[in-house]
Chain A
Amino acid sequence: MPKLIIDQRSIEVPAGTKVIAAAEKLGIMIPRFCYHPGLGSFGACRMCAVKFLEGPVKGIEMSCMEDARDGMVVSTTDPEAMEFRQYVIEWLMMHHPLDCPVCDEGGHCLLQDETVSGGHGRRRYLGHKRTYHDQYLGVFVQHEMNRCIHCWRCRNFYQGFAGYRDYGAMQIGNRMYFGRYEDGPLESPFAGNIIDLCPTGVLTDKPCRFVGRRWDFERAPSLCLHCSLGCNTTGSARYRQMWRQEGRFNEMVNGYFICDRGRYGFAYESHPERPRRARVAGLEVAWAEAIQTAAEKLSQIAATAGPAAVACLGSARSSLETQATLQRFCRALGWSEPRYFSVPSQERQVKAAIARLEAPLAVSLREIETADFVLVVGADPVNEAPMLALALRQAWLKGGAVAVLDPRPVFLPFEFEHLPLAPGDLEAALEALTAGAGGTDLLAGGSPWPLLPKIAALGRRLTQTQRPVIVCGTGIVRESTPGLAADLVLRLREAGLNAGLFYLLPGANAFGAGLLSPAGEGLTPLMEDLETGAVKALMVVENDPFWDYPDRGRLVRALDKLELLVALDYLPSPTVQRADIVFPTLTLFERNHSSFVNQEGRLQLAPPVHLGGMPMAQISPEKHPPRTFLSHIPGGEPRTPGEILAELAAAMPAPVTLPGDDLWDWLSRKNPVFANIVSLFESPPGARLIPEAVPAGTFSPAAAPAAAERPPDYLELLLVDLIFGTEELASYSKHIQPAEEPPRLRMHPADAAKLRLSSGDRVALRLLGGTLEVDLQVAENMAPGVLVLPRHRQLNWRLAPDYRVMVAYGDIVKVEA
């Protein structure tokens, strides 16, 4: 641990720490433009010059380029260094326009800050300013090239950190241009980060253009709910509306960055049709009336048909508070346990994964970056958990290898090995790898499986590593796959490797939902209860079965049988639209604190960004400021599900009180895992809700039953995620919608050849519930025998009895134009 002195104060830092970072630990912010702790040192802007007075380095040097070393004495205020830094600012300002008043970066602009603090207040350069043409970079990023100070951060992130190849630096010298080859949307779904990184107003947030200065916004730390990773964000709201999200540092989760889905998915919050008032039978009514009606009807059904006739459906996107209160509510009223998933296979997968995620095995997203081998099984990182793709890239940049076993045409922004295996084969592959790691010679038996040699080779490489991580998805895999992935990790650990396990789950709080779901097989699937008429009233809390239930026809028939449908939600979902009683709820950003458990069991807290209410723009777009004065917040009726449930409980004929302040105690009495909850002040990166001590490795009981083989002349339909267009919340975001790619069905060339289809063909897919038309794309890099169809907003894909269906060749036909 080198010890050095900076500005007369001494500090000891871990070896490899740069002087600029060491100074930061002392609270000394050395000016910088190109250096960013998430990207590293480049030595390009020369802004961080300091004087090294004593020690191994002497004179003016860049503090971002020098490792802290013993004996260094550094002055950040040395006159020579200050004079140099003043010149750097002057040079950078030679061409920078003085358009701060109309620039969106004004007020949180690093260049502005450092120009002011560096004392460069008078322009001495007498020459002209250089000008550029700007480019259209898509719907997210606004380009204003004249403001560029050539710090390289954007390119260093875009090409270096993220690995995308359509944005960079052209020309040379002071004519350099940062942009694309030609106008067009940035291809990287991580492009939004260059907005945060750009130290001035070249790259700004397009949806938030001209909305306000940094100090005009209400800002608070927040979380991303658009996948299970739980990246940290900072939300900005103004005029009762969210406008912007930025990446927020979390050393265990997302680091500094987020994906564009996380950045721009928030606009569901200000969806014009968002439910704002309580409704009964489609009519807006007073809140108390709705509570009264709901309490009466629910209790009446429970009284006449028995408590089991009332069912509650929570969700994987609700906060832990909501999920837990729902459970408490049901128990308090003596109803049956709430369910959290409308698709039973999803529930089973999530529970299987959680059950196997023992504390010693779980790795965080950040720890993946230090893995020397990552095996991704049944997951498509960019589309299912985007930031995972960047973490994998960092591992690869550090020399680690990445192999993906997945039937889809998986793309990752770096070199990796892809074995396109059908979902059934994934299990066989995992079993083989586990056997191999246990010492079995896989090739000895002369198995007829043609892929076995490749898997055996992979297994040999795997066992030669030290810190491998197995990433296992829960989207397209079989229910038993997560367990097999855990088995492999345990076997690798037995073999002495420091192996880690990383699951992906369906939903921002799927982990919480899984923890709260009843153990074992749980309840009869909700749909069966609805069909048999066993359930007569259904209360849906922040869930929309219309979104993810695979069989729309069956769902509608089942819901038709209900006597009462109560919906609590902030989305204008089809469920809300057909509900008899609707209670509008608050989003994550509004008024209340909410907690979410990400896929590695990390509990994170999101405080509110603003108080909620109807966006100003929606109330009086043409007459702002408003001409009528109210004592309440217009559109401020929505409450948290917890509050609504408490009101309902209190309004029941036999009233029950649900105290709001002892939820964690109540939870931890039920399940000791919740005793781990600590305040975020104690642990800023969040706390893990995984049982700490688990008896040493439990393997799945027996080898999972061999996956049912695909009948000949059938293809397995996989319903998959895309980064834009399939995730529920983001699909309601007006910012994300224009970035969606049109949905396409993908198929292996061998299958396409058999069906005489080719890329661009319009195909009709006959499924049980009806026929779906979609454009075909033939993809080399995927498994034969499968059809890959995105669960796209623009597609009516909900025509199948389950997520896993086989489609006969005859049911895939070309549609003639």
Chain B
Amino acid sequence: MFEEVLFKNRRPDRPATLDEYRQSGGYEALIEAVKQRTPDEVRQLVTDSGLRGRGGAGFPTGRKWGFIPADAGFPRYVVPNTDEMEPGTFKDRVLVNIDPHLVIEGIILSGYAVRAQTGFFFIRPSYELDAQLIEREVEVARQAGFLGNNILGSEFSFELVVHRSAGRYICGEATAQVNAIQGNRAHPMKDRHMASDGLWHRPTIVNNAETLACVPHILRQGAEWFKGLARTKTGAGTKLYCVSGKVNQPGCYELPIGTPLREIIEGSAGGMMPGSELKAVMPGGASTAYMPAKYYDVEMDFDPLKAVGHRLGTAAIMVFDQNTCLVAATLNLMEYFARESCGYCTPCREGLPYIRDLLWRIEAGEGREEFIPMLQQMARHMDSSYCAFAPGAAESVLGLLKYFLDEIREHISQKKCPFAEAYRPHRKLWYPAE
């Protein structure tokens, strides 16, 4: 049986304390690092481990850290990203609630690796209790000498500040997050390189909380060990899979990265709910396309999914069954994306509501055949928007068109949603006035 790494201090009722964390080897990596390793060595180790970002884009973490120019000045910042507003994703909440100090240690180590002075723990408002938890544990870590000036007697000083968001999906995007922290409108800034020109124009590294939680383990047990955890050749480490939707045991499960979808759903998640058959999943949150049942055996890792034209995203697996209308589901997603769009660029601000309108008409039985090419073209053109928000938002539409075109056509030809009311006791359309 696979042994959990990030979740090894999992307790049924409460987060692990500092002592419990330390008993499991916690903060050893930090102690060793500040005493015996140079920041570059830490970064090299992370690079060698093959760790890829868990925030959605899967960018190699060590490489990202290396983007800070050698001659970049100080201060420098790290931003642990716990915005987690990707629908279907809740791994960072679970992680923080299981082992807050693991995340904190990971953050401190990333700060050490890039020689940063301050971390801004960016957290969404619906996680207020978790924000308070982290604030408390940060204080505990400070008392224990892991944060503050001259950590463990070394030259390295680091502060961790909890920065509360007031809730917008776009705040999760790294460059928008930098704006948000500075107290600006959270618009993305694609023309600036965070590694040299981030927060207050200083070098800044944004990483997902889960990504950072891997770092202490990599330092303690080595790059090779980390790579060995994966079930795929190109993968590394374990992955927190959030399974939700029509399964028996929805939840967040730590498994070797590359565990096949079938195993995740049938194993950890307890299989499909009674009466439900797998129709499609979104493999990595709402900004990934529907993946139909034929990919049931795909290995859930960056590369294998890419090979079949899909994305791992945040590895938030949302399971849809045969009774769920995917046109309506996509409409729901478009409502969400259109509402959360920051409004900076045209395709996202106006195109998503347009797509929403077409889907709504289709779902309401007013669909027309000519909507289909329009949907197709608009969804494709979302790729040319300013940041990755709109392309992500368009994925569900593209997936719908690619795999479930018949379902759309049925809506159009029957002039109503073909999903029988009987299956859907709650079904009632709610559409906000413009």
A and B touch in the complex (CB under 8 A): yes
Residues of A within 8 A of B (CB): 41, 43-47, 49, 60-62, 65, 83-84, 87-88, 90-92, 94-95, 124-128, 130, 149-150, 152, 169, 171-176
A173–B338 contact, CB under 8 A?
yes
Q: A84-B384, A95-B350, A169-B185 are in contact. Are A44 and B345 (CB under 8 A)?
A: yes
Residues 343-366 of B at the A interface (beta carbon under 8 Å):
343-347, 349-351, 353-354, 357, 361
> Considering the chains assembled together, what is the distance between the CA atoms of A94 and B386 in angstroms?
20
Q: How far is the CB of B345 from chain A (nearest CB, A)?
A: 5
Q: Is the CB of A173 within 8 A of B386?
A: no
User: Interface digits, B370-412 against A, CB 8 Å rule (1 contact, 0 not)?
Assistant: 0000100110010111100000000000000000000000000
Grouping DSSP codes into helix (H, G, I), strand (E, B) and loop, the B interface class, with mixed when no group exceeds half, is: helix
For residue B303, CB closer than 8 A to chain A, the reply is no
Q: What is the CB-to-nearest-CB distance from A636 to chain B, in angstroms, rounded to a whole number?
A: 50
CA distance A707 to B121 in the complex (A): 59
- The one of A49, A92, A173 that contacts B339, using a Cβ cutoff of 8 Å: A173
- Interface presence of B340 (CB below 8 A): yes
Among residues of B, the one whose C-beta sits closest to the C-beta of A91 is B350
* Chain A nearest Cβ from B281, distance in angstroms: 28
Q: Tell me which of B346, B378, B381 contacts A44 (CB under 8 A).
A: B346
With contacts A130-B434, A173-B340, A174-B341 taken as known, whether A91 is within 8 angstroms of B347 at the C-beta atoms is yes
The answer to whether B342 touches A91, judged by C-beta atoms less than 8 angstroms apart, is no
- Closest approach, in angstroms, between the C-beta of A432 and any C-beta of chain B? 33
21 A-B pairs with CB atoms under 8 Å apart are A43-B345, A44-B345, A46-B345, A46-B347, A46-B384, A60-B384, A84-B381, A87-B351, A92-B346, A124-B374, A127-B353, A127-B354, A127-B434, A130-B434, A149-B346, A169-B185, A169-B343, A172-B340, A172-B343, A173-B342, A175-B343
By a CB distance below 8 angstroms, the chain A residues around B168 are 172
- Expressed in whole angstroms, the Cα–Cα distance for A87 and B381 within the complex equals 8
Which residues of B sit under 8 angstroms from A174, Cβ to Cβ?
Answer: 338, 341, 343, 349-350, 353
Least Cβ distance of A65 to chain B in Å?
Answer: 7
Having A91-B350, A92-B346, A128-B434, one finds 20 other A-B pairs with CB under 8 Å, namely A44-B345, A45-B346, A46-B345, A46-B346, A65-B190, A84-B384, A87-B378, A88-B347, A91-B346, A91-B351, A94-B350, A94-B354, A126-B361, A149-B346, A152-B344, A172-B340, A173-B342, A174-B341, A175-B343, A176-B343
Q: Which of B190, B343, B361, B383 contacts A173 (CB 8 A)?
A: B343
Q: How far is the CB of A86 from chain B (nearest CB, A)?
A: 9
B388 CB to nearest chain A CB (Å): 14
**Residues on the B chain within 8 Å of A152, using CB:** 344
B13 at interface (Cβ–Cβ under 8 A)? no
Residue of A nearest to B390 (CB): A46
- A171 and B353 CA atoms in complex are apart in Å by 16
A125-B340 contact given A84-B384, A92-B346, CB 8 Å threshold: no
Residues from chain B with Cβ under 8 Å of A130 in the complex? 434
Task: Give Cα A92–Cα B346 distance, bound, in whole angstroms.
Answer: 7
Instruction: Name which residue of chain A comes closest to B348, CB basis.
Output: A173
Q: How far is the CB of B390 from chain A (nearest CB, A)?
A: 10
A125 touches B357 (CB 8 A): yes
Q: Report how far A128 CA is from B381 CA in the complex, Å.
A: 23
**Bound form: Cα–Cα A152–B342 in Å:** 13
CB distance from A212 to the nearest CB of B (A): 31
Residues in chain A near residue B350, CB distance under 8 A = 91-92, 94-95, 174
Min CB distance B168 to A, Å, is 7
Q: B344–A125 contact, CB under 8 A?
A: no
Q: Among A62, A65, A125, point to the contact of B354 (Cβ < 8 A).
A: A125
- Cα(A186)–Cα(B377), bound, Å: 41
Q: Is the CB of A46 within 8 A of B357?
A: no
In the complex, what's the smallest C-beta–C-beta distance from B191 to chain A, in angstroms?
7
With both chains docked as a complex, state the minimum distance between the C-beta of A61 and any C-beta of chain B, in angstroms. Answer: 8
- Give the chain B neighbours of A49 by CB distance below 8 A: 384
Residues on the B chain within 8 Å of A43, using CB: 190-191, 345, 386
* Shortest CB distance A179–B (Å): 14
The 3 closest A-B pairs by CB, nearest first: A91-B350, A173-B341, A176-B343
Rounded to whole angstroms, the CA-CA distance of A376 and B190 in the bound complex is 36
Using known A-B contacts A43-B191, A46-B386, A87-B377, determine if residue A173 contacts B349 with beta carbons closer than 8 Å: yes
**Among A47, A124, A172, A175, contact of B346 (Cβ-Cβ < 8 Å):** A47
B112 to nearest A CB, angstroms? 31
Could you tell me the distance in whole angstroms from the C-beta of B23 to the nearest C-beta in chain A?
46
The docked-state distance in angstroms from the alpha carbon of A357 to that of B384 is 52
Contacts of B349 in A (CB 8 A): 91, 150, 173-174, 176
Q: Are A172 and B378 in contact, with the CB atoms below 8 A?
A: no
Chain A residues closer than 8 Å to B346, beta-carbon distance: 44-47, 88, 91-92, 149-150
